[in-house]
A and B are shown apart, each in its own frame.
Chain A
């Protein structure tokens, strides 16, 4: 075990955000490493004011480097860090969260299209340089392998095991006040970005209302990371006459998010691309039934404990959601299945798995910090993701 000044396992991430799957994952790993007595710092390309005190500019690592260090690059988007890493000699672990295909952003933000395209190129460039690729799902592991990563393993994002805590009382009161008698609540959790396809749920809500469906509102919790999309989403709801029924919420604390789950009758996740789908696990833990579109790693994360749809035409999606929230027995079955799924996921101990995975790299790196569970290199998919 190394001391504070010895070699460590340091993470690099383009930006560190709170209440973000990657950001919370990074912080959880740092906490795990600290618990194991391994020095661990977080380096970023651009500082987020909210987490600036927890990070250092990645270039500062050049002065901080200690022989025997291991670097872990949290890969979800493009960054200058990738090019810089190619010139470093430390053993490199790429923790891959999946990259949203650029075409989702074509109509919204050309800069992001270019960034995502460059990002996929960076993933390829880093393959020969990486000692290990850690994927968040079998789907992302397959992407890594197809890109040339020779050694991969699957460890779910640690943010998925995060407890939200008790629902915030003020938030709960606010949500209940604005919730008229008998009004049902659909909930979506995810950034306001085109690949999350929140607008398709708004369209489904419109179809639901046009079909004379039960009074229903739609809560969307997510940061407006693509402002054009966020603004269009708000305008779309207004144009459809649904301003009063669609509510956009962002910057919530964990407990405020828990309040949203508390009032939700269903979590609706219709993303066109998910590298893991943290809200699926959150919803199952909060005992909310899930209706989700079968894309990316969603089926894998859901593990059969929700309604997986391949059809998100507005009327069809509305009918499917209705068939869940309007049927208490079905809701109860889904909630129980979700609880069982969360238990199965927790039994896999993602925290131990990631330390073990990192341990395989530190164990083969002379002078590196030794991690508990370090041993022979892991094979692809060595974590029993399927439970």
Chain B
């Protein structure tokens, strides 16, 4: 056509598949889509009540409701606001149904209510401080260094099934994942730090970055608790928790312990790798520290927490400022 036609056409006949790091990078975005969330489903249910039946369109819940609903102790208020909104619709419907003998809208409204009732538990679970964390904060927080304990993982993480799946959260540079894999485990690495996950997955492809061990694992770039929540019950032989346990506040720590218990097989092992609080505070920039929901707790406190949430505590190891508290899910 024009003189430009030979300039620039790079349409490729066949596009190579995504590299693992790229696939995970895009998956991070896909996981932000609201489908299946309480908000998405509720708004959809309300939208079905609109228009075609001649009433004013559903204008949506108050714009700040969902943000308010994410704070602690506001679950009841959120549900209350939703129920009030539904009640308004139902009151109008009742009149209309009586007048017209049409039950379409009423059925849709009841669908919405039933859905809401079924999801209240999920709703409450979603109202967690973790959801309010400052984005990418994990990248600015010190992570415990296993040091000599790294190669002794087979000793401090006693797996009843040596070939079972171990969740390594947060896997960092993948060194522990590699050690676990060498011991025969299938390893699922999880890390919320996109740059870390990218580096681990793409070590060979990215020039100029430090060499990292070749890790035969799946790596998911997400918060550990979210991956545990989405995991199948009794599916893991072992779980290692690092980083997330030091940043989470106390309810977050309890929630992590509960989420691990749900996903471990009977007799499965959990290791909580935590930093000495003083060392953590020394290494954590002051500004970052103030943004964190929580700080490390003593290994004795972890032992008590795990015991009270149904684990058999096996012991604590210490190397420098790092403590590893190991426990087993009771059979």
Interface residues of chain A, those whose CB is within 8 Å of chain B, are 80, 106-111, 114, 199-200, 202-203, 206-207, 210-212, 228, 232, 235-236, 238-241, 243, 294, 299, 303-311, 313-315, 320, 330, 333-334, 336-338, 340-341, 344, 386-387
Looking at the complex, which one of A106, A111, A228, A337 makes contact with B4 (CB distance below 8 Å)?
A: A337
Question: Is A232's CB under 8 angstroms from B32's CB?
Answer: yes
Question: Is B30's CB under 8 angstroms from A340's CB?
Answer: no
Residues of B in contact (CB 8 Å), total 45
Return the CB mask of B133-152 against A: 1 if under 8 Å, else 0.
00110010000000000000
- Bound Cα distance from A187 to B18, whole angstroms: 24
Q: Which residues of A contact B26 (CB under 8 A)?
A: 199-200, 203, 314
- Bound Cα distance from A20 to B263, whole angstroms: 50
Verify if B44 is at the interface (C-beta below 8 Å from A): yes
Knowing A108-B34, A199-B29, A314-B26 are in contact, say whether A304-B18 is a contact too (CB < 8 A).
no
- Bound Cα distance from A28 to B221, whole angstroms: 48
Looking at the complex, which one of B44, B47, B135, B207 makes contact with A238 (CB distance below 8 Å)?
A: B135
Question: Is B11's CB under 8 angstroms from A108's CB?
Answer: no
Knowing A228-B34, A308-B8 are in contact, say whether A110-B25 is a contact too (CB < 8 A).
no
Interface residues of chain B, those whose CB is within 8 Å of chain A, are 1-5, 7-13, 15-16, 18-19, 22, 25-26, 28-30, 32-35, 40, 43-44, 47, 51, 135-136, 139, 192, 194-195, 198-199, 202, 205-209
- Bound Cα distance from A232 to B11, whole angstroms: 29
- Bound Cα distance from A309 to B12, whole angstroms: 7
Question: Is A306's CB under 8 angstroms from B8's CB?
Answer: yes
Question: Is B136's CB under 8 angstroms from A203's CB?
Answer: no
A281 to chain B, nearest CB (A): 14
With contacts defined as CB atoms under 8 Å apart, how many contacts are there between chain A and chain B in the complex? 140
- Bound Cα distance from A87 to B248, whole angstroms: 62
Q: Which residues of B contact A387 (CB under 8 A)?
A: 1-2
Knowing A107-B30, A110-B44, A210-B206 are in contact, say whether A315-B12 is a contact too (CB < 8 A).
no
For this complex, 18 residue pairs linking A to B, each with C-beta atoms less than 8 Å apart, are: A108-B35, A110-B47, A199-B29, A210-B195, A232-B33, A236-B32, A239-B194, A303-B2, A305-B4, A305-B7, A306-B8, A307-B10, A308-B10, A310-B13, A330-B8, A333-B8, A334-B7, A387-B2
- Bound Cα distance from A182 to B2, whole angstroms: 33
Looking at the complex, which one of A108, A111, A200 makes contact with B47 (CB distance below 8 Å)?
A: A111
Looking at the complex, which one of B1, B15, B192, B202 makes contact with A313 (CB distance below 8 Å)?
A: B15
Question: Is B34's CB under 8 angstroms from A310's CB?
Answer: no
What are the 5 A-B residue pairs with the smallest beta carbon separation, nearest first?
Answer: A337-B4, A238-B135, A107-B33, A232-B32, A304-B5
